[in-house]
Amino acid sequence: MDVRREPRWSRWALVAACVLGGVLYGWALDSIGYGNSYYAAAARSMSQSWSNFFFGAFDPLGVSTVDKPPGALWVQALSVRVFGYHGWALIMPQVVEGVLAVAVLHRAVLRWAGPAAASISALVLALTPITVAVNRNDNPDTLLVLLLVCAAYAVTRAVTASAGHPGTAGPAAGPTAEGVAVGPSGARGGRGRPLAWLLSAGALVGLAFTTKMLQAWVVAPALLGAYLVAEPSPRRLRHLVAAGAVMLMTSTAWGAAVDLWPGAKPYVGGSRDGSAWDLVVGYNGLGRVLGTRDGAGTGLGNAGPSMGGDPGWGRLFNDQVAGQISWLLPFCAVALVAAIVMDVTRGRLTGPGENGRPGAAAIGATRAGWVLWGGWLVLCWAVFSFAEGIFHPYYTTQLGPAVAALSGAGAVTMWRLYLRPVGAAWALLPVAVGSTALWSVVLVRRTPDWAAWLPVAVAAAGALGVAGLLAGRVLLRAFRRRAMRTATVASVLAAVALLAAPAAWSAAEPLDGPGGMGGVNPTAGPETGSGGGGAGPGRGGPGASRGLSGRGGAGPGGAGPGGTGPDGTRQDGTGSDGRDGGGSFAPGGGGRRGTGGGGPSGWGVSTGTLTADRQRVLDHVRANRDGARILLATLSATGAAPYIIATGEDVVAMGGYNATDQAVNLAELQSLVAAGDLRFVQLSGFTGQGADADPRLSWIQESCARVDLEDVTDLYRCGT
């Protein structure tokens, strides 16, 4: 539609959706703490020097980076520089980014499918359970989603801007005086700058790549394909080549700068050789898709089954993932069928063009929107369903905008088909409502002890909604006014049936506290399955990170004894009594709700305070460091994070997130000890497969003396 003719209620609906999202994302921030301790420590380290800021360093000395590009952490580190280091200073940018995503989605869908679809889409995104959970956390997915939604908006503008022809501004309007172009429902485009908008979309996808690497590219074919589908032509192919070049250059800019950096720099966490290129192709590339150790560049292997269920067609519908994102997937599937029906029959999905039929530009713009959002959904579903490597349920927040857009546009499209006097396409709306309500009941019944009234309410509302739609259709020919009232009431009941359960799941997150594994693997709603994962922080001089043992930014890697954790990896650092021995993930820690889980670096939320055992370790190493440049080294980042969060002091993680990186190899470790730069090593933190065979671990246990502290069995003093 012509956005200048947007009805006032649409603007108020946008405001309401943004307020709702802001409340859900920002409610009770004190219960969130510092979120994922890995990223929280990184944000503190990055705020201490501009070198750490650029590289995304995990530790204050700039020894190693986190295992992701620093895009999202840049925003958090800037917030820390402005407001100081507080948990809310890390989470508040996430809340703002989440609300902005709701607003931008509304504007994108408005231009494509009109105000009703836009309002529904904004509401659905605000209520998406996994989106609520992720936006209350410091993981990078919140910024990833915002940037991709902005890219979708830019593509929508490019499509409508290039469709300039005399058209209409609404379903009942005649040709306009200004000869504007129309998109779906009369979307105004004008003869704007389509190439400029498309290039902007490419740049935004590139920025999303700098937030979470190849995951951002999953939706790129849908974005670029939508532009071509709207009006296939050689000119548009040239535009796509230019946009692809911009996307590629923007995506690779940070990684190329890191790999070509001439001076000292941190070891790139998650890589096998310290390069950003290996991180892109390995751990965050083939490793995620294929699940092989060689592809991943770490010792995690295939972590999919324990985190998000076995790969396959039904992964998004299993116990771990379904309650986070799948509620409206049946509705979206029927919506895509409705779009095909409408496209084939050339119905009044857009405003009438010449001879009462939609113009070619309007049809093309409409089709482009379905390709964009439908392609987004299908591509993400395929990648997330069949990925053999590390998969967390919270990754599915990337499907949220597509589910929301298709729900809004699908509802409007199916309503128009429902009102058609002839044909069988009217049945799509009751089918969509009935199947989606039934799936909601199935999901809610997976947790029978939680909100026992909810499946009854959903089933009743769904049944009444379907019955009302059927009755309205029977009355449509003879009693149109009464039929419209009946169908309208039925539609309201249907909306209640479809949104009640996901809304309850979403509300459980701010009301009950962090779900899943807290900051490591945020989830919403009651517990229905397991999950795991997470990731980390740095500091150096203003010009470059301070090198260790002659190599800029060396960082750690190691291993240690311990129990078995999620995905088959190991946990260590527990005392003989099974309690957390100073930085590890205590076995069994981290309940479904709350801040437990073995303290700040456990499976729960980081609180910013040290356990009694860690405090004893900190006091001892401070008093006995003997001028060492490094206060303490740990095997993995999860062992170092609590100390960095609580103190900001020079604690180093030798082996990255799960102790498998070679940020500080054995020779460098020995050199640091011999030079007096390192005195204390703690064998704590989350460790990956094969870490117990690491030569650094053997050398520490054989050459260093165990320190005798109460309830601490994993602290060693090295050197004389």
Task: Count other C-beta atoms under 10 Å from residue 299's C-beta.
Answer: 24
pTM of the model: 0.86
Nearest to 291 by CA among 212, 393, 416, 383: 383
Position of tokens 């437990």? 596
Task: Count other C-beta atoms under 10 Å from residue 196's C-beta.
Answer: 13
Per-residue confidence (pLDDT) for residue 344, from 0 to 100? 84
Nearest to 522 by CA among 70, 19, 98, 79: 98
Q: Where are the domains of the chain?
A: 3-31+67-322+352-408, 566-717
Contact 556, 538 (CB under 8 A): no
User: Cα–chain-centroid distance for residue 176?
Assistant: 42
Q: Which two tokens stand for residue 385?
A: 């369903």
Per-residue confidence (pLDDT) for residue 527, from 0 to 100? 63
Q: How far apart are CA 190 and CA 169, in angstroms?
A: 11
Read out DSSP for 467-529? Answer: HHHHHHHHHTTT-HHHHHHHHHHHHHHHHHHHHHHHHHHHHHHHHH---TTTTSS---SS--S
Helices (H), 293-399: 293-296, 304-308, 322-325, 329-345, 360-386
Q: Which two tokens stand for residue 231?
A: 């009006």
Position of tokens 């009102």? 419
Q: How far apart are CA 685 and CA 236, in angstroms?
A: 52
Distances from the Cα of 9 to the Cαs of 99, 113, 425, in angstroms?
19, 16, 29
Q: Which two tokens stand for residue 250?
A: 């923007």
Q: Which two tokens stand for residue 586?
A: 């205590």
Contacts of 454 (CB under 8 A, 6+ apart): 444, 500, 501, 504
Question: Which one-letter amino acid corresponds to residue 270?
Answer: G
**632 sits in which H/E element:** strand 632-634
Nearest to 630 by CA among 621, 619, 638: 621
Contact 375, 91 (CB under 8 A): no
* R_g of the chain computed on alpha carbons: 27
Contact 308, 567 (CB under 8 A): no
Given the DSSP bridges, would you call strands 632-634 and 680-682 parallel, antiparallel or unpaired? parallel
Q: How far apart are CA 138 and CA 560, in angstroms?
A: 28
Position of tokens 């009444």? 464
Contact 418, 429 (CB under 8 A): yes
Buried residues in 350-378 as b, exposed as e (16+ CB within 10 A): bbbbeeeebbebbbbbbbbbbbbbbbbbe
Q: How far apart are CA 67 and CA 529, in angstroms?
A: 26
Q: Determine the Cα angle at 49 with ends 54 and 631, to 5°.
A: 115
Per-residue confidence (pLDDT) for residue 546, from 0 to 100? 35
Question: Which one-letter amino acid corresponds to residue 675?
Answer: A
Residue 32 phi/psi, 5-degree rounding, is -85, -30
Task: Count other C-beta atoms under 10 Å from residue 640's C-beta.
Answer: 34
Per-residue confidence (pLDDT) for residue 354, from 0 to 100? 40
Per-residue confidence (pLDDT) for residue 178, from 0 to 100? 28
Q: How far apart are CA 151 and CA 335, in angstroms?
A: 23
Task: Count other C-beta atoms under 10 Å from residue 708's C-beta.
Answer: 9
Question: Which one-letter amino acid corresponds to residue 171?
Answer: P
Nearest to 276 by CA among 260, 263, 295: 260
Per-residue confidence (pLDDT) for residue 182, from 0 to 100? 35
Q: Which two tokens stand for residue 34?
A: 């510092």
Residue 572 phi/psi, 5-degree rounding, is -145, 180
Taking CB atoms within 8 Å and a gap of at least 24, the contacts of 600-604 are: 600/34, 600/37, 600/641, 600/642, 600/645, 600/646, 601/37, 601/638, 601/639, 601/641, 601/642, 601/685, 602/518, 603/517, 603/518, 603/520, 603/521, 603/532, 604/514, 604/517, 604/518, 604/519
Torsion 484-489-492-494 (CA) sign: negative
Per-residue confidence (pLDDT) for residue 508, from 0 to 100? 87
Distances from the Cα of 464 to the Cαs of 328, 420, 487, 495, in angstroms?
18, 22, 11, 11
Q: What is the mean pLDDT of each run of 10 residues along the chain (720 residues)?
A: 85 97 91 90 97 97 95 97 95 97 98 96 97 95 98 95 45 30 39 86 97 95 95 94 97 96 93 91 78 48 58 92 95 96 67 50 89 97 90 95 98 93 90 97 92 94 95 79 87 95 91 64 72 33 37 34 34 32 31 34 63 94 94 92 94 90 93 95 77 85 93 90
Read out DSSP for 644-661? Answer: HHHH---EEETTTTTT--
Angle between helices 87-113 and 71-83 (to 10 degrees): 130
Contact 618, 656 (CB under 8 A): no
Per-residue confidence (pLDDT) for residue 549, from 0 to 100? 39
Buried residues in 126-135 as b, exposed as e (16+ CB within 10 A): bbbbbbbbbb
Distances from the Cα of 315 to the Cαs of 225, 307, 321, in angstroms?
26, 11, 7
Task: Count other C-beta atoms under 10 Å from residue 70's C-beta.
Answer: 26
Q: Using one digit for the tens of pLDDT, what is the confidence trace for 527-572?
A: 654 433 333 333 233 333 334 433 333 333 333 333 333 333 333 3
Q: How far apart are CA 696 and CA 559, in angstroms?
A: 8
Could you tell me how many residues make up the chain?
720
Distances from the Cα of 449 to the Cαs of 323, 446, 508, in angstroms?
15, 9, 14
Contact 278, 271 (CB under 8 A): yes
Q: How far apart are CA 668 and CA 625, in angstroms?
A: 19
Q: Which two tokens stand for residue 691?
A: 């870490």
Q: Which two tokens stand for residue 255?
A: 């990684």
Per-residue confidence (pLDDT) for residue 641, from 0 to 100? 93
Q: Which two tokens stand for residue 111?
A: 């231009």
Residue 685 phi/psi, 5-degree rounding, is 115, 170
**682 sits in which H/E element:** strand 680-682
Q: Which two tokens stand for residue 468?
A: 């009302």
Q: How far apart are CA 694 and CA 692, in angstroms?
A: 6
Task: Count other C-beta atoms under 10 Å from residue 599's C-beta.
Answer: 26
